[in-house]
Structure 1
């Protein structure tokens, strides 16, 4: 198995604190009531199923896109340089997330306009029965702009393989799954840990970028 699949899963686990910050309130709201009754676990499961499905489909697409670029012989040298540039960018995202830079971290890579647009579309889905609404909102929120997600998508694209790209993003999504599913219990635990899990996730992202960078430099030499 590609070692990057396991590394992306660990990154998802460590990045759960950030996911709770972005999606935790929404999951709590979805799980509260449906005609006065608790929806609870079904809504949380459906939301996370939708989110992980979107991640997997994005991984499949960028894996295909990466393969489409690499099979073009005339673009080979360009794609090698592009891969190295992406590796360096991924390392910078990771180190910034780990707190190495005071002015560069993944939170600066959010796109406020896209996030607002996704939230508006999610509001329109809330009129559906809660489990179905949770699935639709999860599918939308898999597109939520996030530097950590960008880094994982770049890594999946560099696999230049549809199946591997999909598995990488599936692993990342599954890594974030436990914290969001066990929202109440994990949020208090992660609060006590502070920023340490997120810093560890940043270090893991930097290691992924370094692993790919060494491989891509080796391909040139």
Structure 2
């Protein structure tokens, strides 16, 4: 199933408008890691690692969704019926995830505690890697740090990954997650350039818009599921 330009635009805007939210989790890391290196290439190396991790997770989610549909076609007596049912189930799951994260951005529901207390210091080898990055601040070390931190629990990125689950294939899932990641790039580069205070000022407005985008994507998925169920 081809990705529509509307879906890609929505994911990019989700990343772009989520910058205010990203400052709380990623802002201090960006200032402490590539920000201390004193060169723009350090920021590019860090974010390249982060975007690669996003892309890989998106590919994994897209492949998982596609694999489940294929498995259903093999196990079901009527392959086409089971494929359609599994596709509807995946669309329903992705839509509910997006709806939940969208409502959390609007303040109607609380994010799970495990999203708020994500602590990279609990990862094995974290202190050694942090010490090496602080001492050397090489682009290679910062790239590795971006790879690791790209998987930190985050409601916005998890919403994008949920959308990738319904992409229908590995490449489509990877593209969706990558476009979302590219949307986060301008704001986080601005944070590295010292614009965090300005972006924090409009965080609430950006959170509201990001929540509405997620709810819009959820609504489209759920409408597609309901329409397919009615056929």
Same fold (TM over 0.5): yes
Distance 1:96-1:136 versus aligned 2 partners, 3 A rule: same
SS at structure 2 position matched to 1:182? helix
> Which is worse superposed, 209-218 or 57-66?
209-218
Structure 1 residue 111: Cα displacement: 6.7
Q: Which residue of 2 aligns with 1:59?
A: 58
**CA offsets, 1:47-103, max 9 Å, x none?**
11111110001111111111001122235435523431431232122022112x1xx
Distance 1:30 1:166 in 2: 26
Q: Mind listing any 5+ residue stretches in structure 2 that lack a counterpart?
A: 77-81
| Partner Cα separation in structure 2 for residue 29 and residue 169 of structure 1 | 25
Aligned residues: 213
C-alpha distance 82-12 of structure 1, shift in aligned 2 (>3 A): same
Distance 1:67 1:113, change over 3 A: same
After superposition, residues 87-102 of structure 1 pair within 5 angstroms as 87-99=95-107, 101=108
Equivalence for 2:79: none
Give unmatched runs, 5+ long, in structure 1. Answer: none
Change (3 A) 1:82 1:169: closer
TM-score (norm 1): 0.86
1:12 matched to 2:11? The reply is no
In structure 2, which of residues 124, 127, 133 is the aligned counterpart of residue 123 of structure 1? 127
Q: Counterparts of 2:160 and 2:177 in 1: how far apart (Å)? A: 7
- Secondary structure of residue in 2 paired with 1:160: coil
CA contact (8 A) 1:114 1:145 kept: no
Q: Which residue of 2 aligns with 1:45?
A: 44
The equivalent residue for 2:167 is 159
In the alignment, structure 1 residue 105 sits paired with structure 2 residue 110:
yes
Tell me by how many angstroms 1:190 deviates.
1.4
Q: Does 1:200 align with 2:209?
A: yes
User: Cα deviation per residue 1:19-40 (whole Å; 9 max; x = unaligned)?
Assistant: 121111111112355xxxx433
| Contact 1:62–1:157 (CA under 8 A) maintained in structure 2 | yes
| 1:169-202 Cα distance to aligned partner (Å, 9 max, x none) | 0011000001111214431221221411112111
Deviation (angstroms), 1:159: 1.0
- The reply to whether residue 134 of structure 1 matches residue 142 of structure 2 is yes
Q: Does 1:27 align with 2:30?
A: yes
Paired with 1:6 and 1:106, the residues of 2 have a C-alpha distance of 25
1:91-141, Cα deviation, whole Å (9 max, x unpaired): 122022112x1xx233645174664434x6443223153122211110011
Q: Are 1:107 and 1:147, in contact at CA under 8 Å, matched by a contact in 2?
A: no
TM, length-normalised to structure 2 = 0.83
SS of equivalent to 2:38: coil
